[in-house]
Amino acid sequence: MDRAAHDRIPEIALDWHRAGKGAALATVIETWGSAPRPVGSQLVVSREGEMMGSVSGGCVEGAVVEEAIAALSDGRPRVLTFGVSDDEAFAVGLACGGTIRVLVEPVGATLPEAILAELVAARAERRPVAHVVNLTDWSRRLAAPDAVFAPRFRADKSGIEGDVFIAIHNPPLRMILVGAVHIAQPLVAMARTCGYDPVIVDPREAFGSASRFPGEDISHDWPDEALAAIGLDARTAVVTLTHDPKLDDPAIRATLGSGAFYLGCLGSTRTHAKRVARLTETGFTEADIARIHAPVGLDIGAQSPAEIAVAILAEITRVLRRGE
């Protein structure tokens, strides 16, 4: 699924720049107190004052637009500091105010088109990348998730280290649900609300039908073939829900051979013991099998399909954010 416009700020900036409209990128680089938008939030402004995105939910956008237009005129980057009063914060749903620092970069003059184009290409290819900017000499580079930045990529955490701002650009999260069963219906809706692009995999067309999952991405391929076609990476969670080894096991084997950050399998402790025996027979190690979360979901006493979906999504969130 394509990113929504508010998640395509670098892409829009590149398009506007190449169209001759001018583009300045404004990025939240630091916050104190109850800031309206998190670090890394972006706004793009054209020479005519068009804008897309948000750095404050409306508190300081007007001033940022003015500075962005000025930056397009003089070609110089700048760091802006704004205090958000309690009244302004209350208007956008916060209990109290705070302080925001915003980096403004005119594309072409300060932010080279080539670097922005490379960033956009990485995003299109689902490659995680960091845009690293020295706030003293304005040098910049793109960086892959190495040992230094790995914790920031896992936490989706942009921020300042010394005189350097690191903007994390992770691919959108994906959740692959193997088995278009009843639990999948509330889970796919919750996953989308939490920012995942869900994909439903079920070769049984009566289960994985558009009438049961309107508007969703559904694959009727065999699970291992579907997962190979989709591609599994460190931003992907896989949940098997069918209780049928003929469907679940191919997906489990494919996921254990990938970099997916989460694999959860529905079924009782007894069912999982049988699953472990089958995987062991096919050559998977104890360390491989330990990656499986089963029975799937946090133990919160969930009973209904919706409650089970809550438990599953809660466990996925814990693994994503805490790595446990």
Domain count, the chain: 2
Kindly report the CATH number assigned to the domain that includes residue 279: 3.40.50.720
When pLDDT is cut at 50, 70 and 90, the band that residue 287 belongs to is very high
Strand boundaries in 40-116, DSSP class E: 42-45, 51-53, 78-84, 98-106
* Final residue before a domain boundary, out of 169, 185, 204: 169
**Pair (20, 143) in one structural domain:** yes
pTM score, whole prediction: 0.76
| CA nearest to 309, candidates 192, 226, 223 | 192
Q: What is the residue range of 241's domain?
A: 173-322
183 and 151 fall within a common domain: no
For 67-116, how does the pLDDT look when each residue is reduced to its tens digit (9 = 90+)? Answer: 999 999 999 999 999 876 666 555 544 444 578 899 999 999 999 999 99
Considering the domain architecture, whether residues 203 and 161 belong to the same structural domain is answered as no
Report the pLDDT value the prediction gives residue 57, as an integer from 0 to 100. 73
CA angle at 104 for the pair 235 and 25, rounded to the nearest 5°: 50
So what's the pLDDT on residue 61? Answer: 84
For residue 237, pLDDT over 50 is answered with yes
Same domain, 219 and 241: yes
Does residue 80 sit in the same domain as residue 153?
Answer: yes
Q: What's the Cα-to-Cα distance from 304 to each of 175, 198, 300, 308, rounded to whole Å?
A: 21, 21, 12, 6
Map residue 99 onto helix, strand or coil: strand
Q: What is the pLDDT of residue 88?
A: 56
Mean pLDDT of 145-149: 85
Q: Dump pLDDT digits (tens) for 152-167.
A: 988 889 999 999 999 9
Same domain as 315, residue 207 = yes
pLDDT of residue 100: 86
- One domain, residues 316 and 183: yes
